[in-house]
Amino acid sequence: MSNQFNPLFPLTNSSLLFEGPLALAVFSVFMSCADRNGEVNLNPAVLAEAWKMPLEEVWAAIRKLEGPDPRSRTKAHDGRRLIRIGECMWELPSHEKWRGVASAERARELAAERQRRKRARLAGHCEVCDSPAVGEPVNGRRVCTAHAFADDGDAGAAEDDVPF
């Protein structure tokens, strides 16, 4: 899908860019490792080893992320990006905010896809590729010739096809 939400997108307009490339890389890894509650269980020694760099440099970047950021637009927690909650465990304070943005974006994408399929069906077009449909519906779906004879017997559902 085009314009899919990427949780790293907000970083392109973030005060985090002032902290240097290592802090940005560390924060990107933390975001990608966060669970659904915004908690991260990550040993910095693993990052240091994987990146072939001194452990102290990774810890220095983490300390920057744990510190207040007066430039941050997110004033909660003084703009901190990481809050330590245990040994090798952190919380991303803004996780819930960005997760809500992602959920709302996904809901809009699904609604738009359902509407596109409905319009294609009403116009007599293929529900997979929007080409003119031919003949009777296959497995309850209107499809073009290319998708009517798909090998998988699923009326040509594409890999990225959104389920009904």
Domain count, the chain: 2
Which of residues 149 and 152 earns the better pLDDT score? Answer: 149
Q: How far apart are CA 91 and CA 89, in angstroms?
A: 7
Q: Tell me, yes or no, whether 102 lies in a domain.
A: no
Evaluate if residue 37 carries a pLDDT over 80: yes
The answer to whether residues 56 and 123 belong to one domain is no
The answer to whether residues 72 and 15 belong to one domain is yes
Instruction: For residue 78, name the pLDDT band (cuts at 50, 70, 90).
Output: confident
Mean pLDDT of 32-61: 93
Q: Residue 39, class by beta-carbon neighbours within 10 Å (0-12 exposed, 13-18 middle, 19+ buried)? A: middle
- Give the β-pairing of 83-86 and 39-41: unpaired
Instruction: For residue 87, name the pLDDT band (cuts at 50, 70, 90).
Output: very high
Give residue 98's pLDDT.
64
Please state, rounded to an integer, the average pLDDT across all residues of the chain. 76
The answer to whether residues 88 and 120 belong to one domain is no
Q: Which of 3-17, 24-38, 100-114, 120-134 has the highest mean pLDDT?
A: 24-38
Which CATH number belongs to the domain containing residue 83 in this structure? 1.10.10
Q: Tell me, yes or no, whether 78 lies in a domain.
A: yes
Is the model's pTM score more than 0.75? no
State the residue range of the domain holding 50: 9-92
The answer to whether residues 87 and 13 belong to one domain is yes
Q: Tell me, yes or no, whether 76 lies in a domain.
A: yes
Evaluate if residue 85 carries a pLDDT over 80: yes
Evaluate if residue 5 carries a pLDDT over 50: no
Selection from 106, 21, 107, 34 nearest residue 60 by Cα = 21
Which of residues 12 and 116 earns the better pLDDT score? Answer: 116
The answer to whether residues 76 and 126 belong to one domain is no
The answer to whether residues 22 and 79 belong to one domain is yes
- The residues near 124 (Cβ < 8 Å, ≥ 6 apart) are 132, 133, 142
Give residue 12's pLDDT.
64
Q: Tell me, yes or no, whether 98 lies in a domain.
A: no
